[in-house]
Each structure stands twice: as structure tokens, then as C-alpha cells.
Structure 1
Amino acid sequence: MYLGLTYISHSKKMLTEDMRMQLMRECQVRNAHSNITGLLLYQQGFFLQYIEGEPHTVRSVYQHIQRDQRHEDIELISEEVLMERRFPHWTMFFRDYDFVYPHIRQDYGELTTLAKVVEALEEDPALQKTMFDFLKITHDQSA
């Protein structure tokens, strides 16, 4: 049995692309060590993260995130019991939509990856909608 947890947060300061890549690498190493899998999406100062693993480990990671001074306005979106992981091979899948989004239509690899996310979330329409809403909000405002 596993626990899947989704939250959104806001970065206290704007992060450069290099800072975001460093954060992603830190997450991957820490999550591999803790046997946590999931994904992290970034867009214009906002994060949406989904983590999954052993319940006590996921809760511990989330408590660490809540104490992390780089975040503010942390909001728990969902917590659910899983019989199997949705993203068993992703220690931390990361997408920086400030960088990627303008090129999505030209990048078959990105579309394939997003299709995997959608497929993995088919059994949880609310979580799937949360992720789509996250991706849509700021881009719709800037269009």
C-alpha cells in the first residue's frame, strides 16, 4: 500500500532556470534515497508536486516541504491510498513550463510524456483536472 499526495505552493523568490534545475536534481537524489516517486511542475513561481511512496515516508517528506523556507502558501490538494505507484520509474519527473510550454507543439517527446501523465491519472479525474488547471491558468492569462 502506498500514499499519493499532491500540493501546490509558491516560491518566496523568483528562481532562475539554473536554480530550478538545481532544485530538481536535489529532489531526484533525495527521493531516490527515500524511495519516493512522483512529479514536480513549475510555472511562473508556482509549484505543483505529486509524491508517492510508503505512507510514513510521504508524510515525512511533506512535513519537510512545509518547513522549507523557499515555499509559501503551501496547500494540500489531495491525499489518497494507492495499491500501486502511478509513476514507479520517476524519482522526480520535472517540467519547467516557463521553459517548455512555448515549444510543446513542436516537441513529440514532451507530448508523449504528458500522455503518460494523463494515462497514469485516468483513475483520479480530480487530480488530473488539478494538474491541467495548473498548467492552463497562467498561460491563458498571458495569451
Structure 2
Amino acid sequence: MMILAITYTSQATDLHTEEMRLKLMRECELRNVTQDVTGLLLYQEGHFLQYIEGEPETIRATFARIQCDPRHHDVTLHSEEVLMQRQFPDWSMFYRDYDFIYPHVQMDLGELVTLAKVIEALDDKPELRQVMFDFLKKKHDGVF
């Protein structure tokens, strides 16, 4: 089975509260489970980074819906690639809110292990890995 993977970034139209972000994540996760979409969603200071993978028609329709969603703007497509297998088959929507979690990351071994899994999955995709690192460094440059 052929898999299509898309990575994009966007900016929130308004600053979302933590509760609003959790609601958005739950909506994504529920929709993704029913449509067999997997991936991850990262949030930091009004910016989103999302990687989604699944059947090509489903991913294209999902991305078209995302581009029209009024909750964000400046949707920038960073990559679109065909895969032979999923990078994140067990994550209907892995979500991290770095406004909330970042102060605790250095003390949380589980979070570091999870980030290591994401980085490992992107080992053969240096451009995507760089997009992710740039996203995570926005506010916290020099902390690591």
C-alpha cells in the first residue's frame, strides 16, 4: 500500500488557550482514527507543525481542509512524499504543546525518549528534521 506524507507549518489566527488547543487535538485525533491517518502535531507560541500520513486521497483531502480552516493562516507546505510504510503507525495524532511542556522537557526522560523516536524516524529526511528543529528553537534557542 502506498502512503502519502505531508509536513506543514501554520500560524494560529488567535492565540489559543491550552483548553482550545486540547480540544483541537482531540478533534484531530478522532477524525484521524476514523480515516486511518497517523502523524504528529506540535504547537508553540501560536505556531503549528504537523506531519500527517495515510492513503493519498485521504491526505490530500485532509490537507485541503486544513488549508481552509479559519483557526490558522500562513499554511506552508514543507514536504509531500510517497512512502512504502508509515513513519508513525501507532500515533493517530501524537500531540505536544511546547508552551505547556517545554519547561519540563529536560527533566522528563519519557519526553526525551519520545522526541528521540521522532528524530530517529526523520533520520533519512534531513530537511524535515531541520524544519522540526527550527520550529522547536523559536523561543528556546540556546537552551539545549
Distance in 1 separating the partners of 2:8 and 2:91 = 17
| Runs of 5+ consecutive residues of structure 1 not aligned to the other structure | none
Q: Equivalent residue of 1:106, what SS? A: coil
Q: Does 1:32 align with 2:33?
A: yes
- The C-alpha deviation readout for 1:83-129, integer Å capped at 9, x for no partner, is 10000000000000001111111001100100110111111111111
Paired letter, 1:67? C
Structure 2 counterparts to residues 94-133 of structure 1, below 5 A:
94-133=95-134
Aligned to 1:22: 23
Paired residue total = 142
Q: CA RMSD in A?
A: 1.2
Correspondence list, 1:1-143, <5 A? 1-140=2-141
In structure 1, how many angstroms separate the alpha carbons of the residues matched to 2:135 and 2:52? 16
Aligned-residue sequence identity (percent) comes to 59
Q: Following the alignment from structure 1 to structure 2, what is the Cα–Cα distance between the partners of residues 99 and 116?
A: 20
For 1:132, the aligned partner's letter is F
Q: Following TM superposition, by how much is the alpha carbon of 1:45 offset from its aligned partner in structure 2, in angstroms?
A: 0.3
In structure 2, runs of 5+ residues without a counterpart are: none
TM norm structure 2: 0.96
Q: Deviations over 1:56-95 (max 9, x none)?
A: 1100000000111111111111101101000000000000
